[in-house]
Chains A and B, each alone.
Chain A
Amino acid sequence: MTDATAADLTIASGASRGLWSEAARRFLNHRLATLGLVMLAIVVLACALAPLIAHYGPNDIDLRGRNQPPGGGHWLGTDGTGRDIFARILYGGRISLTVGFVAVAISAAIGIFIGCVAGYFGGKVDLFLMGLIDMVLTFPRLVIIIAFVAAVGPSILNTMVVIGLLSWPSIARLTRGEILALRNQEFVLAARSLGTSPSVIILEHILPNVLSPILVAITLDVATVILLEASLSFLGLGAQAPAASWGNMLRDARTLSILESQPWMWIPPGAMIAVAVLSINFVGDGLRDALDPQHIMGGSTK
């Protein structure tokens, strides 16, 4: 009764807003999340609009201006073959971010589907799918990816697909857990008693209610995958020269002389990875708080 009283008071005082606009308001009140969103938007826009912003192509070679420090015509300097670092950062970002988003889209699609099926139907189906999840989770991800890419040849597409195919179990697990918790809620029973089909129940009743934690997990996964792609490219298994990505820019800058005397070659890609990952994490945290149904619904669930 004590909780209910407090909750009733909140309901009574709460304005009548839609669920999503309420969540958006809460998100924008979260200072770090807003900062993260703004930074992420700037990075994404800059990468998308690279041809308009950069004065040089990513692979234009300026033979007279190799190893130039920042300043002058090249804002962030040039690398050992005279390519503009700023242009390569923007074009490289396209690849890094694309890999991040596409790979996570693949893994989220697989993960949510398997999680839904396992969680809603339960029983033997669940037992089998959980076994599959555990099996995939035991694969050492980086080793498998390296082996796979070595076998089929390194390319951006292969990288995305293989990362996507190996990253879904965590999302599947999370989805399954959330659905198990919701499956016996009265509103799901009510939908069943009305004759609603399982697919509609999952899509209309269950998924919208479990979406927030999944969305948060997905956001955070994007950051992880960007790092993974950077590691792969650093190892020479991701984007292939001459194409730029943040990871292989770091790889190109890994000699001792560059590390010591030409920091403009490795600081910008490293900083971009850090900024992108950090802002995505901020957005994820903000989403987690904003979408917490307890806040939105006034703690109505028992």
Chain B
Amino acid sequence: MMGADALAIDGTAKWIGQQAVLSVQGLSVEFGPRDSSVYAVNDVSFELAEGESLAIVGESGSGKSVTVQTLMGLIRKPPGRVTAGRALFRGRDLLAMPDSDLRQIRGRDIAMIFQDPMSSLNPVLSIGLQLTEALREHQGLNEAEAERQALDMLDLVGIANAPQRMRAFPHQFSGGQLQRIGIAMALVCKPSILIADEPTTALDVTIQAQIVELVVRLQKQLGMAIIWISHDLSLVAGFVDRVAVMYAGSIVEQAPVDELFSATTHPYTIGLLNSIPSLTAANTRLVPIKGAPPNVTLPPTFCAFAPRCDYAEVRCREQRPPLETLGAGHTTACWRWREVARLPRTPAAASSAAPAAAPKQEPLLVVSDLKVHFPIRRGVLKRQVGAVHAVDGVSFEVLRGETLALVGESGCGKSTTGRAVLGLERPSAGSVLFEGRDYAGATGDELKQRRRDMQMVFQNPFGSLNPRMTVGRIIGEGLRAQKIGTRATRDVRVSELLALVGLREALRNRYPFELSGGQRQRVGIARALAANPKFIIADEPISALDVSIQAQIVNLLDDLKARLGLTYLFIGHDLSMIRYLSDRVAVMYLGRIVEIGTTAAVFGSPLHPYTSALLSAIPVPDPKAGGTRRRIVLGGGVPDPSKPPPGCHFHPRCPMATDICTRADPQVRDFGSGVSGQHLVACHHAGDATP
């Protein structure tokens, strides 16, 4: 568990077997009644060779999950219907097979791991029982033999102390460990195909790196084929052989991974690649795909991407483009791919809004030694028995006009910090100076005044809007709460705000459930801007959105900053996005800031070992870089914040930890220079030779 393995993942591995273990031909799946069908999967075909790894990439609603669930016989019928197609597993059609035969294949020959490891394990059965069940079911092993194999498998997926852990229940494991167990469950019967349905989406980036590494290692050891479902093109770029990109139920482009990135032919794939900020290139403006994900209630008789496509012509709206073969294993479904392929890949960046005027060096917000502790109470009398140190002495400044990003893994206290600054959580200690006035622990009118100047954009576009209010009411709420203006002037202001965030006036009387995720997030932004605040705290505002929508929202935030002279505190975990949009970065670990400095300095020459590990775990949208880059894979997970380790909180996972780290809290030291600006690091070994 301790320390870290540095290893290079060989992204250019070639699969050995050439025979297809799975061949899907013309699969179509519809949902709902025949007269108002939802066309979830349309004419999808792909082959999977023995030992090959294929990624199916697409946004939510693209049909990627439905496709594999259909293969596994996991969609409910009705409402689901397979209207066409075959899926041959070693020559046998999975779709025509009786349920009892499919059950045999499922789990033994084809296994699946899921996005949410917690909900895919039964909470009331021990891990050991769930593991051995499959073995006894499929391989008819006796109890002792099944247990032995289960233990081996737990060892293989890196669960320490397996004999004891066999008797534990799912809630006693961390998210990363649970996903390892989910993988062990899937692999106990040594399947020939492993289907991974977004297995790392719910996990932190350092844990994601662990899981990817594990799956790649197991694939080599067991020689199985993998179908990896993901929304993240950059993640899969590093380790799969081939990629199939899905859009609105159809595969639009399929190619060997190198070719997909170097010789992209479909406008949607190009759009996806342009929406991802590059870690290496200079900060050019993101080029989002316009519009919103498609409506799949129309029969697929035309190119579903046409409404969002810059190259669309009449033919695209009338006829569905067939999948054309370009070369070895490269197919694309676009009428104009020949012209598209010849275009330069990054369109001359729509002149990035003149690099926002250098922030004045005057701090707008000064947070010093902020602490937020949540008491843990037990017993009838609610005696306090401990405290969760969610935020444990955090200090930072936000300069007027800049974007400060607060990054870290889940549970590091970054959201709590944001909420405490806004007064949604009561700080246990420390001060929050906004424009020179201390607001820590403010209440009543004082707090109300601050909320004119400071607003928040929330993470979840589904949960942050009251489902029973119309869009107009939601946006106008801040004005009503602050008693600004009359009813008529507020109405006018709501219209202004709708236009400002790029929403049609007609949406004013709609309810949130009628909007797409991107539209909802725009409503959330409009609501925050209603009372003309100076400072916006954006709490992971894009992490719940589809990739092509993320770029739209990021660009919107960028434009608003320039137009309205806003200052942002941007809380997030997507480091490539943060590098793109922030001026300075603060890295948090377990309630403390471990490193803070200008984005260029922190990303260019990280000094804290945790920052280095985080940065190396970022997936790069480039299969070549993915292969050569050195990754530092951190062991273990984030410790329990109610019992933080003594000394440096990071030492149990740190590759550089020495004796002093276990005893003394590291002092914050400035490694900045006149050129790079302030660069504060809290590490005993910062500045020593890097690992």
Contact = CB atoms under 8 A, between A and B. Distances in A.
In which size bucket is the chain B interface?
35 or more
A186 B293 CA distance: 24
Best-surrounded residue of B201, B229, B513 (most CB of chain A within 10 A): B513
A143 interface: no
Nearest to A211: B468
Given A1-B115, A187-B466, A195 B478 contact: yes
Nearest to B457: A190
Those 4 A-B pairs whose CB atoms lie nearest each other, nearest first: A186-B464, A194-B478, A196-B481, A195-B451
Contact of A192 (B63, B424, B459, B513): B424
B309 interface: no
A19 B460 contact: no
B463 A12 contact: no
B40 interface: yes
18 contacts: A1-B229, A2-B65, A2-B114, A9-B32, A12-B295, A12-B297, A13-B32, A13-B36, A14-B514, A190-B524, A193-B422, A194-B477, A194-B530, A194-B531, A205-B469, A209-B466, A293-B467, A300-B462
Contacts of B61: 4-5, 8-9, 12
Interface of B: 31-32, 36, 38, 40, 60-61, 63, 65-66, 69, 114-115, 197-198, 201, 229, 231, 293, 295-297, 382, 419, 422-424, 447-448, 451-452, 455-456, 458-460, 462-469, 477-478, 480-482, 510-514, 524, 527, 530-531
A298 B455 CA distance: 29
A197 to B, nearest CB: 7
Nearest to B293: A8
Contacts of A205: 466, 469
Contacts of B482: 194-195
A185 B482 CA distance: 21
Interface of A: 1-2, 4-6, 8-9, 11-14, 16, 18-19, 127, 185-187, 189-197, 200, 204-205, 208-209, 293, 296-298, 300-302
B376 to A, nearest CB: 15
Contact of B60 (A1, A298, A301): A1
Interface centre among A6, A14, A197, A302 (most CB of B within 10 A): A6
A14 B114 CA distance: 28
A190 B458 contact: yes
B423 to A, nearest CB: 8
Contacts of B531: 194
> For A127, A186, A196, A209, which residue has the most chain B Cβ atoms within 10 angstroms?
A186
B467 A209 contact: yes
A190 B31 contact: no
A50 B636 CA distance: 76
Contact of B463 (A185, A200, A208): A185
Contacts of A197: 481
Contacts of B530: 194
A300 B527 CA distance: 20
Contacts of B513: 11, 14, 296-298, 300
- Most chain-A CB neighbours within 10 Å: which of B38, B61, B201, B460? B61
B455 A194 contact: yes
A192 B382 CA distance: 27
Contacts of A2: 65, 69, 114-115, 197
A12 B59 CA distance: 15
A187 B478 CA distance: 12
Contacts of B467: 19, 187, 209, 293, 296-297, 300
A184 B260 CA distance: 44
B572 to A, nearest CB: 16
A10 to B, nearest CB: 8
Given A2-B69, A193-B451, A187 B481 contact: no
Contact of B448 (A187, A195, A296, A301): A195
Nearest to A20: B468
A265 B467 CA distance: 52
A193 B455 contact: yes
A187 to B, nearest CB: 4
Given A1-B198, A5-B61, 7 more contacts: A2-B197, A8-B61, A8-B293, A9-B61, A194-B478, A196-B481, A296-B467
Contact of B66 (A5, A18, A208, A297): A5
B511 A193 contact: no
B514 A302 contact: no
A130 to B, nearest CB: 12
Contacts of A19: 467-468, 511
B134 to A, nearest CB: 21
Contacts of A5: 40, 60-61, 63, 65-66
Nearest to A124: B382
Given A1-B115, A16-B510, A208-B468, A195 B447 contact: yes
Contacts of A187: 463-467
B69 A13 contact: no
Contact of A8 (B60, B382, B460): B60
Contact of A12 (B63, B296, B459): B296
B296 A1 contact: no
A200 B38 contact: no
B463 A9 contact: no
Given A12-B295, A13-B36, A301-B463, A190 B65 contact: no
A9 B31 CA distance: 9
Given A187-B466, A296-B513, A12 B458 contact: no
A14 B32 CA distance: 11
Contacts of B231: 1
A19 B510 CA distance: 10
Contacts of B114: 2
A4 B92 CA distance: 31
A187 B464 CA distance: 4
Nearest to B63: A5
B514 A16 contact: yes
Contacts of B468: 19, 208-209
Contacts of A192: 424
Contacts of B197: 1-2
B462 A301 contact: yes
A127 B513 CA distance: 36
A301 B512 CA distance: 12
Given A1-B60, A19-B511, A196-B477, A13 B38 contact: yes
A182 to B, nearest CB: 10
B458 A9 contact: no
B302 to A, nearest CB: 17
B571 to A, nearest CB: 13
Contacts of B36: 13
B229 to A, nearest CB: 8
Interface centre among A9, A12, A127 (most CB of B within 10 A): A9
Given A4-B60, A19-B511, A189-B424, A12 B465 contact: no
Contacts of B481: 191, 194-197, 200
A50 B197 CA distance: 65
A193 B510 contact: no
Contacts of B295: 12
A297 B511 CA distance: 10
A196 B423 CA distance: 13
A9 B38 contact: yes
B471 to A, nearest CB: 12
B77 to A, nearest CB: 13
A180 to B, nearest CB: 16
A194 B527 contact: yes
B40 A190 contact: no
A51 to B, nearest CB: 41
A71 to B, nearest CB: 52
A12 B63 CA distance: 14
Contacts of A9: 31-32, 38, 40, 61, 296
